[in-house]
Amino acid sequence: MPQQSRYPRQWEWPDGARIALSINMGFEAFMRASQVTLEKTANKVDHFSLSYAEYGARSGAWRLLDLLDEFGFKGSVSTNGLAAEKYEKVVRAVSDAGHEVNGHAWANDEIMRDDDPAGELAEIRRCTKALTQAAGVAPVGWTSPGSAGSANTLSFLKQEGYLWNGDDASDDLPFLKDTRSGPMVIMPRTNIFHNDYALWVLGKNPPGVIWESFKDSFDTLYAEGVAGSPKWTEITMHFHMAGRPTLIPTVRKCLQYAAQHEGVWVARKREIAEWAMQRESGR
């Protein structure tokens, strides 16, 4: 008989689902260099590194969108404003396919500082405008590059009409956090251990490590859900990383595994955040 979890928060998902699964994707653009380079050179734009990121718009996005079509799953795409400005047709294709387009700052190699609130607010507005124009719908979610938000990020996002933020790694479930402008849904980073950047590019592991990490996380959380303590998990794929043919079989294996289980709620992060806001704001 499943053992009851000691996890203190009481939770449930729609229709009594045992686990929620979100599919998070990244569509990123850079000013000077992406995450991959052959030779780092100070004070110089790394043109090869930028071409590595450009693969996402030219090839990777289409391959991942085709993969999700196989399963009928809808995901969420953290999108830099610069990517939306340069590749508006890609963002519109993402949106038209029913996927959520989220804010991800203007450029992925630009980090906001605590001591420049005016600059950060201007960047949030600039990014929001570019995403809205490209996607045809305003974003309601935001994750900063590297989840490195500032002390002002949450209040600014709430003020600008955002619902959720992903600059956190403190829990297995969404929760509400008060800001100067009202409550914001915090969507913690449950994806670090099944993230193509963290495990494949940065970790220099073979693709199969992503499958092993995803399966172990899914099995543990699914069992907790069966025992009455449902949780949430996520897989993260960047267009310019997981969109390469090397990783597609691994990602397909992860999605197939989740689809084989009963009581799995596959949802965009927007739906998960809306559920959390409705559920938690009444408490």
Write down the pLDDT at residue 197: 83
Residue 127 CA: distances (Å) to CA of 94, 104, 208, 265: 17, 8, 35, 30
pLDDT, mean of residues 110-124: 89
Q: What percent of the chain has pLDDT over 70?
A: 98
> How high is the pLDDT of residue 1?
52
Query: In CATH, which of 3.80.10.10, 3.40.50.2300, 3.20.20.370, 3.30.2230.10 is domain 18-281?
Result: 3.20.20.370
pLDDT number for residue 203: 84
pLDDT at 41: 72
* DSSP single-letter state for residue 192: G
Residue pLDDT, tens place only, 155-207: 999 999 999 999 999 999 999 999 999 999 999 988 788 899 888 888 889 99
Range in 14-18, 77-81, 190-194, 270-274 with the lowest mean pLDDT = 190-194
Please list, residue by residue across 246-259, b when 16 or more beta carbons sit within 10 angstroms of its beta carbon and e when fewer do.
Answer: ebbebbeebbeebe
> Residue 58 above 60 pLDDT?
yes
User: In this structure, what token pair is assigned to residue 124?
Assistant: 């949030």
Question: What beta strand segments (E) does the chain contain?
Answer: 19-27, 76-79, 100-103, 141-142, 164-165, 175-179, 182-186, 231-238, 264-266
- List, for residues 208-258, the tens digit of each pLDDT value: 999 999 999 999 999 999 999 999 999 999 999 999 999 999 999 999 999
**Mean pLDDT across the stretch 19-41?**
89
Average pLDDT (127-136) is: 98
Domains of the chain: which residue ranges? 18-281
C-alpha 41/C-alpha 49 separation (Å) is 11
| Cβ partners under 8 Å of residue 241, min gap 6 | 26, 35, 56, 60, 196, 197, 200, 201, 247
pLDDT tier for residue 62 given thresholds of 50, 70 and 90: very high
Tell me, what DSSP letter sits at residue 59?
Answer: I
Angle at 157 between CA 146 and CA 283, to 5 degrees: 105
Residues whose CB falls within 8 Å of the CB of residue 247, separated by 6 or more in sequence, listed in order: 196, 200, 207, 210, 237, 241
Please tell me the predicted confidence (pLDDT) of residue 112: 81
The answer to whether 34 and 240 are in contact (CB under 8 A) is yes
- Which residue in this structure is represented by tokens 């100067």? 180
What's the confidence (pLDDT) of residue 37? Answer: 82
Read off the pLDDT of each residue in 39-44 and give the average, rounded to a whole number: 76
Please give the pLDDT value at position 194: 87
pLDDT at 95 over 80: yes
With contact defined as beta carbons under 8 Å apart, do 235 and 194 qualify?
yes
Q: Is the pLDDT of residue 283 over 70?
A: no
